[in-house]
Every structure is written in structure tokens, then in C-alpha cells.
Amino acid sequence: MFTRYEGAAWEERFLPRLTSKQVRELPKERALVILPVGAIEQHGPHLPVMTDTLIGEATLTQAFEKVGGQEQIWLLPPISYGKSNEHLGLPGTISISAATLQGLIMDIAYSLHLSGFRKLLLFNTHGGNVDLLNVVSREIRIQYGMTVFYLSPSSLGGAEGIIAPEELEYGIHGGDYETSIVKAIKPGWVQDEFLIAEVPDLGGMKFLTLEGRIRFAWRMEDISASGICGDATQATAAKGEIMQERITDTLALALAELCSFDVEQVRGGLSPLEAEVKR
């Protein structure tokens, strides 16, 4: 079960809980600031419109219980709204534009930069944000010199052997994966009597997929009548608990690695100018 604003994430690692003096005095050489980015959008008749944001908050809350006390890892309030215009017109969806979301993240990054922070993780739980976060991460690096990471917890491999391969491929919205996790973290928010299964028909396609290989632009109404893609009828809280345990175990280790990472040490050779100076 997940309770908002409880646990180490909120009591010990929530950056806005500190005073200005405390923030100024934080050691920032290895400090990592995490900005969760989610969405408020329809997830079919059975899941709350807060599903993406809820999963992000719960995952970080659980992962922070596993983070070593010596690490300088700090959590920001989530950006609960995302670029969800593929769901607009379906009740409950609240979308902001790509330009608005990019501007908001850029402004937050600039503010952190002025406070002396050097590392930022964009922790994303909505597929519609992915391409934008790739762009904005590089813009922050170029404009402010910060080291920027971005990840989605679903990329950390917690579902193998639990979710069927076809469901992993096509169950991208409101299916077994997301429904199982919400059942584990907020079971009262799942409407079990409305669980359904709907999978887009791409069986005849060799190369086209929804989110991999060759992709095509789609609105939700193009690929689903119900508003979901996947089989929610197979979801269980037990699956969600196992996946969250796996994901948060991996995430806790990954966060420590991000703290120690120095982008300046990645390059293998000297630039032409540096080589000339060395000679």
C-alpha cells in the first residue's frame, strides 16, 4: 500500500521540506535531484485518471526506503500533468502542450542550477512524455551545463516472467501491467467490475509496433474503443507487488550510480584543440 507524504522520501529526502539555508548548505558535488513527471489522463473504465502520476509517486516512495543514507538524493514535487493530447476528448484527461511542459521543466532546471545543483533525474511514468524528455534533457545539458538523466520505471525490467510477452508488447495503457501495480499500491482505486481486455490488431504487421522498432503516430481513438491497450482482466495485486519490489530494488541501486556518475569522465580521447595544447 502507498500513502502519500509518508516515509523517507517525504520526511527525509523531500527537498522543499528544507529551509533556504539548509538547501544552500547541502553538499552538491554528488547530489541528485529527482523530478517526477506523470500525467492525468483517462485509463479506461477501471483505473483512475491519476494512474501515471500515482505509479511514479509510489515507486519513488518505495525506492527511497532502500536508498543508502549517505547518498545526497532529493525529491521534488511531481509535475502531475503531462503531454496527453493523444487522449484529449476522453473524460478526465487534462493535458498540457509540449511547449508548456518543456518550458516548465526548463524553468525548474534553471532554478536548481542557480541553487548550485548539478544533477537532475527526470523520472517519467507516461509514454506520451518520452520523446519530449529526450529533447528537453539535452537542452538542459546544453544551456545550463547540468548532467541530466531520464528514465521510466517500466524500463527497469520488473515484468519479465510475470506479464505475458504479447501483453508487454501491446499492453501499453491500462492493461495487465499498470492495473496490477495500481492494485498493489492503491487497491481501492481500481474498479474491478469494469476490467476489460482490448489489444490493437497489429498481428499482420512485421515491422510496425506501437512503441518500438518502426512506430506510427496515433491517437487513442485510433487504436482503442475502450481507452485501454492491454488485458486488465489478468491483473492481480500479487503481480504488482512483485514488479514493484523488483523495480524499486533496481532503482535504489541505479540512483546511487547516478550520484557517482561524472559526464566529464566519459569521453575517451582528446579534442583537436586539447591535443594541440598537449603537444
Write down the domain spans for the chain. Answer: 8-161+240-262
Q: What is the pLDDT of residue 197?
A: 97
Q: Alpha-carbon torsion 166, 57, 137, 228, what sign?
A: positive
Q: What is the pLDDT of residue 271?
A: 67
Contact 72, 27 (CB under 8 A): yes
- Residue ranges of the chain with per-residue pLDDT less than 70: 212, 269-271, 273-279
Question: How does pLDDT run across 113-141, given as a tens digit for each residue?
Answer: 999 999 999 999 999 999 999 999 999 99
Q: What is the pLDDT of residue 268?
A: 75
Q: What is the pLDDT of residue 10?
A: 95
Q: What is the pLDDT of residue 279?
A: 62
Q: What is the pLDDT of residue 73?
A: 97
Q: What is the pLDDT of residue 69?
A: 81
Query: Given this structure, which CATH class describes domain 8-161+240-262?
Result: alpha beta
